[in-house]
Structure 1
Amino acid sequence: MPTTVHEFAWPDRVVIGTIGVPGQRTFYLQVRAGKQLVSIALEKQQSAQLAEKIDEILDQLIALEGNPFSVPRGTPVELVDNDQLETVEEQFRTGVMSLGWDPTTAQIVIEAYPLTEVDPEDDGILVDDDDADASEVLRVSMPVGTARAFAKRTREIVGAGRPLCVLCGQPIDADGHTCTLPEA
């Protein structure tokens, strides 16, 4: 089957957002260009790593002599996006992601692939299902300023979860917390 590619070369909007209350949130990477809107689910840790790696790439590019790609050190104020997610219709749940740099367009490139189903009774062997939909990929290319703003928002979204217990480091739920201190 051919691969379905959802490609956004210069998106109008690219954000990480959540639905649900802390402790039960679902994270989404949402991209829009004109009327085309794609939302994919991903894990909190994937979101955090994506922001961290984007900042690492941008910081490496700043260090190049003369900053040839005009990478901003901070988040450009005009690119800050604190709006809620638009209507979410999950395209797929993210499995593998890749992150890269395209020097020809001076853009960060994110690729996300669906989580592949695994048959737990077959010791983790991938399921070969002839009725399965064609494999998909989301490819998003964003300029350096947008990428910096994306990373900042993502860190804020990830950090807005449940507070951590100062004693055991575990998340504190709204309905209470039983602290389990590690044995000394």
Structure 2
Amino acid sequence: MPTRVHEFVWPDRVVIGTVGVPGARTFYLQVRSGTQIVSIALEKQQSALLAEKIDEILYQLITVEGNRFSVPSRTPIELVDNDPLEPVQEQFRTGAMSLGWDPTTAHVVIEAYHIADVDTGDNSESHDHDGAEVPEMLLVRMPVGTARAFAKRTRKVVDAGRPICPLCGYPVDVDGHICTPPEV
């Protein structure tokens, strides 16, 4: 069965954002081009790793003699996006992801694949005319400046979670925290 691809080339907006309070947040990768918006759920760790690996790609490209791809060393101010997510309608939950570089277009490429939920009863997935689940993926191609801004925002969103207890190193919940300090 063919995969339904949600493809965005040079999107108007590509961001990581959350819904919920720290400790109970759901992370979303949201992409918009014109009126087309796709929001996919992913894990906090996937978000953090995505930002880290995008930065690695961009820093490697900067070291290329002459920086022929015009990779900015800092986030261009006009690309900073601190706005909240647009209304979220989850397309799918992400399983595997891949990240790459396309030198022919000078784009960072993100691929995110749907993870099949077993026994969830989730009816938000795409189905074909026979009722069978249609596999989905998100394909995003973004220029280097947008990628730099995306990584910066993602790190900020990931770091905005619960504070870490200085005694035990675990997150402190909003309703309190009890820990046993490590023995000396």
> TM-score, with normalisation over the residues of structure 2?
0.91
Q: Which residue of 1 aligns with 2:133?
A: 133
Could you tell me how far apart the structure 2 residues matched to 1:10 and 1:83 are?
19
What is the CA RMSD across the aligned residues, in angstroms? 1.4
Q: Which residue of 2 aligns with 1:113?
A: 113
- Compute the displacement of 1:57 (Å): 0.2
Q: Which residue of 1 aligns with 2:168?
A: 168
Gaps of 5+ in 1: 120-129
Q: Deviations over 1:51-78 (max 9, x none)?
A: 0000000000000000010001111100
* Structure-2 change in CA distance of 1:116 and 1:181 (3 Å): farther
Q: Return the letter of the residue paired with 1:109.
A: V
Q: Return the letter of the residue paired with 2:40.
A: I
SS in 1 for 2:84: coil
Q: Deviations over 1:100-137 (max 9, x none)?
A: 00001100000000113458xxxxxxxxxx85411011
**Does structure 1 conserve the Cα–Cα contact (< 8 Å) formed by 2:8 and 2:139?**
yes
Q: Return the letter of the residue paired with 1:89.
A: Q
Q: Which residue of 1 aligns with 2:101?
A: 101
Q: Return the letter of the residue paired with 1:92.
A: F
Could you tell me how far apart the structure 2 residues matched to 1:132 and 1:11 are?
30
1:153 paired with 2:150, answer no
Q: Which residue of 1 aligns with 2:124?
A: none
- Compute the displacement of 1:182 (Å): 4.1
Q: Return the letter of the residue paired with 1:75.
A: T
Kindly tell me the number of residue pairs found equivalent between the two proteins. Answer: 174
SS in 2 for 1:71: coil
**Does structure 1 conserve the Cα–Cα contact (< 8 Å) formed by 2:167 and 2:182?**
no
Q: Return the letter of the residue paired with 1:67.
A: N
SS in 1 for 2:101: strand
Q: Which residue of 2 aligns with 1:11?
A: 11
Query: 1:41-120 alignment to 2 at 5 Å?
Result: 41-117=41-117
- Compute the displacement of 1:178 (Å): 1.0
**Taking every aligned residue pair, what percent have the same amino acid on both sides?**
75
Q: Which residue of 2 aligns with 1:126?
A: none
Q: Using the TM superposition, name which of 130-139 and 156-165 deviates more.
A: 130-139
Could you tell me how far apart the structure 1 residues matched to 2:28 and 2:117 are?
19
Runs of 4+ in structure 1 displaced over 4 angstroms? none
- Compute the displacement of 1:2 (Å): 1.2
Could you tell me how far apart the structure 2 residues matched to 1:49 and 1:180 are?
30
Q: Which residue of 2 aligns with 1:123?
A: none
- Compute the displacement of 1:181 (Å): 3.3
Gaps of 5+ in 2: 120-129
> TM-score, with normalisation over the residues of structure 1?
0.91
